[in-house]
Amino acid sequence: MYGYMGRILLVDLTAGRLEDIPLSAEYARQYLGGSGLAARYLYDLVDVHADPLGPANPLIFMTGPLVGTRAPSCGRFEVCARSPLTGFWGEGNAGGFWGPALRFAGYDGIIVQGASERPVYLLVREGRAELRDAAHLWGMDTYAVQQAVQQEAGDSSLKVAAIGLAGEKLSPLAVIVNAHGRTAGRGGMGAVMGSKRLKAIAVGGRQSVPLADADRFHRAAKEALAILQEDISSQMLHLGGTAFYVDIGMLEGDVPSRYYTQGQFEGAERLSGAAMADTILRRARTCFGCAVACGRETRLPRFGVDAADGPEYETIASYGTQLLTDDLEGVAYAGHLCNVYGLDTISAGNTIAFVYYLFEQGVVSAQDLDGLEPHWGDIGPAITLTEWMARRQGIGGLLAQGSRAVAEHFGVPELAVHVAGMEVAMHDPRAYTGMALTYATSPRPGCHMQGDMYMLDSGDELPEWGMTAGARDEQSAEKARMAALRQDWRCVTNALIQCHLVHPPLELVLTMLNTAAGWDMDAGELRVCGERIFNLKRLLNLRWGLTPAHDRLPKLLLQPLAEGGAAGVVPNMELLLPAYYATRGWDPSTGGPTPAKRMELDIP
């Protein structure tokens, strides 16, 4: 198979059995790779009654046809399973170097089933795989275990994806970490890995991706790289990291503050990419095949950390503006702890911000919080709570289950900002109304990366798909149509797999895909692939009990803000959601694709 290694590694941890299975060429053409291909395999394997933390929940690691090639910024991988946080589709997308290394080891993906009786790690090297004892690694942090596995295997070139303490303790906020703080797993993919007692997966090799027309592919990749190097947004990301968005987003009212209840925070400028460059930045870091280098490495002398990874934008907002703190070094340290322990900074930071809000409202007391008094502006309690969450210590055991669990425990379920249990990301749908539909209907609920309407309405258009920018506060059927198109596009980029922060022309993306795989796919077929993937994920969620009632926004996001760039705006879900269903061809009574739509998309 051109464009693919042609093999999937099937791992049965219960039996301790490893098996190579051929990659389905039909599945590859219809679902491309990444989370699309993972969804198709999971669709065959899914047990609707399986406990997300039980052995019957498969955990799938998948790459895409452009991963490990010279296509710029295509060095990623996806991890997918039923989420222990939501009970629905779980998907983690990570950069770094692990994805390409899996391809170099000879595989397109790994499907992990069952559960081991004892801790193990998986070593995949030069087309061969073996399970090794990991009892001595259990308890190690995500950085230490990477180094330990490399040393034990005698190969410093191995790339290691591992869980930390949060994954071992089955927190549904746990992620999987590789390289320097590159994480996969919103929705608890690290907990699924921990439930299988799989501490790490190490991969490496020297194989190369077979290309159908290598000369044309490399010419297209070179042209795409040149365009990206001249792109203004790429240059801004290189200079300021994703934190460059803090200043822009705050002007637009897009940066949540004081747990989504305040439209402006004057201290935000002291959390920006420019502020980081002037204070704690050591250097920029990059992923495989990326010239942007948006990653940050920082120095945190106050906490005795010489080299920490990040923080990036989502961490700065969740641990910074959400807590009304401008303590950049403290925010960076909280993010560092999340990386060390393997916690999702968005869900962890949001859950802690919720506790601050409940404390201010008098719903919780210092006694409820084991003596802590979390006041706005003080990062100290947040750092302590992050430690406790990872260790499931005291009140941290409750917080480790996420904000929905916290709200239910204290009797205020209507106050938590989540969708189906997933904490909402750091883009306010009152600033970009299209994000309201993204959050409410995303296969991974509350997710900003499966339909980034803030990017589209800021000018990242795709005219070949009829995808054009609109007014960011627009409430119309056309906005609903654009939201659906954007979700389909992100299904494609999450399948290829291409970083969301780069935007090569669609013509070059198609050229690279076709010359890699030996296909003749056009923009129309690629668009159908995206729509097919999105609908298949929806069908998986319906199997797991999703209903139209889940397609909603939390109460706090439907209350207008008094100040800031989004003041007075509230998403009109009564208008937007029916228009979205009509665009999708979904039955309003079931919330899923009609039989005609399934037939149109060739979904079984």
3-state secondary structure of 374: coil
Number of Cβ atoms within 10 Å of the Cβ of 587: 14
Strand 305-309 to 198-204 pairing: unpaired
Is residue 441 within 8 A of residue 576, CB to CB? The reply is: no
DSSP labels, 532-578: HHHHHHHHHHHHTT--GGGS---GGGGS--SSSTTTT----HHHHHH
User: Could you give the CA distance from residue 151 to residue 96 in angstroms, rounded to a whole number?
Assistant: 20
Low-confidence stretches of the chain (pLDDT < 50) are none
Predicted pLDDT of residue 185: 80
User: Could you give the CA distance from residue 237 to residue 69 in angstroms, rounded to a whole number?
Assistant: 22
Is residue 13 within 8 A of residue 42, CB to CB? The reply is: no
Greatest CA separation for the chain: 67
Q: Give residues with Cβ within 8 angstroms of 425, minimum separation 6.
A: 314, 346, 439, 446, 447, 448, 449
3-state secondary structure of 382: helix
Number of Cβ atoms within 10 Å of the Cβ of 602: 9
Predicted pLDDT of residue 491: 97
**Three-class secondary structure assignment of 275-306:** HHHHCCEEEEECCCCCCCCCEEEEEEHHHCEE
Q: Give residues with Cβ within 8 angstroms of 368, minimum separation 6.
A: 395, 410
Range 117-120 contact pairs with CB under 8 angstroms and sequence separation of 24 or more: 117/197, 118/197, 119/197, 119/198, 119/199, 120/13, 120/197, 120/198, 120/199
Predicted pLDDT of residue 594: 96
What is the set of domains in the chain, with CATH numbers?
7-204 (3.60.9.10), 242-423 (1.10.569.10), 434-601 (1.10.599.10)
User: Could you give the CA distance from residue 401 to residue 386 in angstroms, rounded to a whole number?
Assistant: 12
3-state secondary structure of 154: coil
Segments in 431-546 forming alpha helices (H):
434-441, 453-456, 477-496, 506-517, 523-543
User: Could you give the CA distance from residue 268 to residue 322 in angstroms, rounded to a whole number?
Assistant: 10
Tokens of 603: 């979904």
Predicted pLDDT of residue 55: 97
For the chain, what's the residue count?
Answer: 604
> Considering just the CA atoms, what is the radius of gyration of the chain in Å?
22
Segments in 170-279 forming alpha helices (H):
189-195, 214-230, 232-240, 245-252, 273-278
User: Could you give the CA distance from residue 522 to residue 375 in angstroms, rounded to a whole number?
Assistant: 55
Name the residue type at position 34: G
Measure the CA angle with vertex 500, ends 497 and 502; round to 5°: 100
Q: Check: pTM over 0.95? Answer yes or no.
A: yes
Phi first, then psi, for residue 308 (nearest 5°) are -110, 150
Of 95, 62, 91, the residue nearest 76 (C-alpha): 95
Strand 176-178 to 281-285 pairing: unpaired
Of 590, 591, 543, the residue nearest 46 (C-alpha): 543
At what angle are helices 142-153 and 328-341 packed, to 10 degrees? 50
Strand order in the sheet with 109-113: 17-22, 7-12, 109-113, 59-62, 77-82, 89-94
Number of Cβ atoms within 10 Å of the Cβ of 104: 23
Predicted pLDDT of residue 400: 98
User: Could you give the CA distance from residue 304 to residue 363 in angstroms, rounded to a whole number?
Assistant: 35
Positive or negative, the CA dihedral 64, 70, 74, 75 is: positive
Predicted pLDDT of residue 291: 83
Of 130, 302, 118, the residue nearest 196 (C-alpha): 118
